[in-house]
Amino acid sequence: MSPRTVARKPRWLVMPRQGGEDYNRMKRLLRTASLHTVCESANCPNRGECFASGTATFLLMGHTCTRHCTFCNIPGGRVSALDRGEPRRVAETVRHLGLGFAVVTSVTRDDLPDGGAAHIAATIREIRRLNPGCGVEVLIPDLRGDPVALETIFTAAPEVLNHNLETVPRLYPAMRPQARYLTSLQVLRRARQWSDAEDHAMTVKTGIMVGVGETRDEVVQVLRDAVEHGVEVMTIGQYLQPTATHHPVARYVEPAEFTELAAIGRELGLAWVEAGPMVRSSYHAREQSEALGGS
């Protein structure tokens, strides 16, 4: 079957309906604070569940990216100047929601000398300042592998440092044309090395999508690469094509295959594998951190 004639979504991929008082309250709060979330920008299938439970993944530095990944619903194009008040507004919203664990990500900003590292680090510190004891997971871009920019974020000491590999290396030219698989692996290795050198229990995490044309052997090799580069937590989820112009879905992976991949990942040495059709980068982030001894 051609990827462009892939069958209708199976029953296990039916998204729950969104809405309700708690869901709408979260949307109003985010609009009032002039904040973006990857839940909305990336059209996450779990945003109904997360918004209704009072959680969200904050998206820093605008909602336009300097890259043009063909799987992502966040548009690429002209970006805006950094909003210096954003770190504080994120921290205030975390306080308003009473979160004990906050998840923050960002668009890629190749236009900035440090890729936005200082802005991300400032947000981590501001969350901690206004919310003592709050844990933080930060999902970062590759920052072009710049060790100084990466250390800027590491020294803010998030409980979890996440950087997604996204897919198997063979598909990078089609899906991540401005990224390099080896650069992403080095980001993860540097995070592990920094954590070990500083004796700081920073969990290193990554994630991939399946159903984009990869083979099983390629996925298993990515799991091996992740372990070899210091990754402890990995997410594996079904790719869902945002629009007709995005990278096509090659197939819908059955739940049993996700269970098998999770078992393989654990056998290879991963401490936690979150795998399933609806799994996304920050899904159950707090539960993962708590299980591994974080905040």
pLDDT digits (tens, 9 = 90+) for 141-168: 999 999 999 999 999 999 999 999 999 9
Identify the sign of the CA torsion 99, 102, 107, 113: positive
Q: Could you write out the DSSP letters of every residue in 187-228? A: HHHHHHHHHHHHT---EEEEEEEESSS--HHHHHHHHHHHHH
Within 8 A by CB and 6+ apart from 186, the residues are 145, 229
Report if pTM > 0.75: yes
Determine the 3-state secondary structure of 112 from DSSP.
Answer: coil
Low-confidence ranges of the chain (pLDDT < 70): 1-7, 15-27, 29-30, 34, 36-56, 284, 286, 294-295
What phi, psi does 281 have (nearest 5°)?
-50, -45
Within 8 A by CB and 6+ apart from 127, the residues are 87, 90, 91, 94, 102, 104, 134, 136
pLDDT of residue 1: 38
What phi, psi does 280 have (nearest 5°)?
-130, 175
In a domain, 3, yes or no: no
Query: How far apart are alpha carbons 234 and 223 in whole angstroms?
Result: 8
List of long-range contacts for 10-15, beta carbons under 8 Å, 24+ apart: 10/252, 10/254, 12/254, 12/255, 12/277, 13/45, 13/238, 13/240, 13/252, 13/277, 13/278, 15/45, 15/48
pLDDT of residue 36: 66
For residue 31, list its beta bridge partners: none
In a domain, 206, yes or no: yes
Element (H, E) at 118: helix 117-130
pLDDT of residue 53: 54
Q: How many CA atoms lie within 13 A of 242 on its CB side?
A: 15
In a domain, 114, yes or no: yes
User: For the chain, how many structural domains are there in total?
Assistant: 1
pLDDT of residue 54: 52
In a domain, 2, yes or no: no
pLDDT of residue 2: 44
In a domain, 4, yes or no: no
pLDDT of residue 280: 84
CATH number at residue 139: 3.20.20.70
Query: How far apart are alpha carbons 248 and 70 in whole angstroms?
Result: 9
Q: Domain limits at 180?
A: 17-291
pLDDT of residue 35: 73
In a domain, 100, yes or no: yes
In a domain, 242, yes or no: yes
In a domain, 33, yes or no: yes
